[in-house]
Chain A
Amino acid sequence: MARNKTGILELDEMLRGGFMDKDAVMVAGSAGTGKTTLALEYLVNGATQFGEPGIYLTFEQLPDQIYRDAENFGWDLRKLEVENKLRVVCTSPDLLLDPEGEEQLLGETIKELRPRRMVIDSLNHLEMYVPRGDLRKEAYRILMYIKTRGISPLVIWEAQQGTESSYAVTQTGMSFLIDCLVLLKFVEINSSMKKALVIMKMRGSDHDKHLREYEITAHGVRVVAPFSGYEGIITGTPHRSLTQEVAGAWDDAFTRTKHKQ
């Protein structure tokens, strides 16, 4: 089964090799969790490591901002555009929502670039431009347009941080459109904010079910260890299990004095 590797080693392991080819992937999370960084890294790695050109379609930022932010991670998007491996398309959602809008906006680029990956940043912008309840229909139309051209879409969804809103993705009624859902979330552990990543859903494939800590480093996303021993992370009230509490006290007793020295 063909897989689209993200190039983020630990994430690819969690995905059992990468996203399934042509699957609609959603990366959801609150502001500042690194959705755009993850999506850009997916595109850049696809273009540079796996020979898969990509399109970054954004309603959110101006091109200069995107190039600048990417450079901070060592990704030269301009160079990739010159090499015909990537296109950054900044537009307004209403253009895409026009009848035949996607063809006018992307048709030429798709023919020229022959992309394999595409990121839409973000669906929330589309939501602002469509009547309530029409988002599903519009998202379906756009995703189908992308998929039928042999491109694997990855859409970004900004969800509010909180217990219920973690599942706001499904509340929009788009879950049936999405084959793979990656949730990014802030969690408070021992009075410090950490970032947690979990693959909530991956249609037709096994995947890692653990919540894993991740960091945004100078080189992009780095997925670290699972939050082992904690319960209630998704619901926003993480706490250690009794066994883990006891194990922690056990460790403290035998090693705390030593570390004080």
Chain B
Amino acid sequence: MARSLSLFPHNTTRGIGVVPVPIFVALIAIFDVILPTSVAASWAFNPLLVFATLQTLFLFGTSVVVAYISLKSYLSGGSRTILLLGSGTLAWGFASMVAAWLLGPPGGPNIGVTISNSGALFASLFYIASAATTIRASSSRDSKRRKSKLLLAYACAVGFLAALTVFALLGATPAFFVPGAGSTLLRQVVVAAALFLFAASSLLFMRLYHDSRSGILFWYSMALALTTIGLAAFYFGRTVGDPIAWTGRIATYLGGIYSLVAIWSAIRGSHDGLANSQ
């Protein structure tokens, strides 16, 4: 019989892990209903250094850890699911960090918003591709050229966003956010698409969790769910740094923490499925 190393039974900790999701959804809904745009703008709080530091720590930092574990996992196992997951995580973390550091002047918030939202959509494509590979049984685990494929995928994830950043800085990208006017239609479409793909990825991984009861899958799919909520806040937010935006940001930071909890689950080797089988 495997002994659990956690203080609480898995069902309890996972039950607690679900709680923030409805809370964040409710908060965004409440703010959306009760906050007039003018009030939201006056409550906007956006200390750029603090924000950039938080983004770097909670999103980029955690994404590097997940991407590294995925890297090691792919090199030894060769699973495409893992390769795409690692690439998506890296893209999301990189975009979040770069966007935060470029949110302020001289370019104004449009550059940061463009990178952040486009990066979210780009990352979500990796995530949905990763999640889609779990739908059908596949025995394809290429053993050849894993290193070069990994390098290509990770370089693609970071390279695209680096190029996007350069184009955004040069003013060669369409506007996502116009100060005074708010989000453009393009931003709304991009965020909506990313939101949908993140949500779908989260659901597909959660479906996999229901089959395996793996703690890793639970916490990772919850991390994606919280990221989805963060993107929803982009969608409903009135202005950069308003209460809705901060609710979304905190949800994504918690998502970063959840992805670390998923790694911690891997360290403990405490999949429920494994424990149940012993």
Give residues in A with beta carbon < 8 Å to B: 225, 228-229, 242-261
Contacts and interface: CB of A to CB of B under 8 A. Distances in A.
Given A246-B69, A258-B134, A252 B208 contact: no
Contacts of B278: none
Contact of A253 (B72, B76, B138, B217): B217
Contact of A258 (B137, B143, B263): B137
A255 B72 contact: no
Contacts of A245: 267, 269
Nearest to B205: A254
Which of the four size classes fits the interface of chain B?
35 or more
6 contacts: A248-B77, A249-B216, A250-B73, A255-B82, A257-B134, A257-B208
B70 interface: yes
Given A249-B216, A257-B208, A228 B267 contact: no
A249 B266 contact: yes
A213 B273 CA distance: 31
Given A247-B72, A258-B138, A253 B271 contact: yes
A261 B137 contact: yes
Contacts of A244: 72, 76
A228 B266 CA distance: 19
Q: Which of A242, A253, A255 has the most CB of B within 10 A?
A: A253
A249 B134 contact: no
A246 B267 CA distance: 5
Nearest to A241: B72
B227 interface: no
Given A247-B72, A251-B76, 5 more contacts: A228-B75, A250-B216, A255-B77, A258-B133, A260-B211
A229 B76 contact: yes
A256 B141 CA distance: 13
Contact of B73 (A242, A247, A260): A247
B48 to A, nearest CB: 35
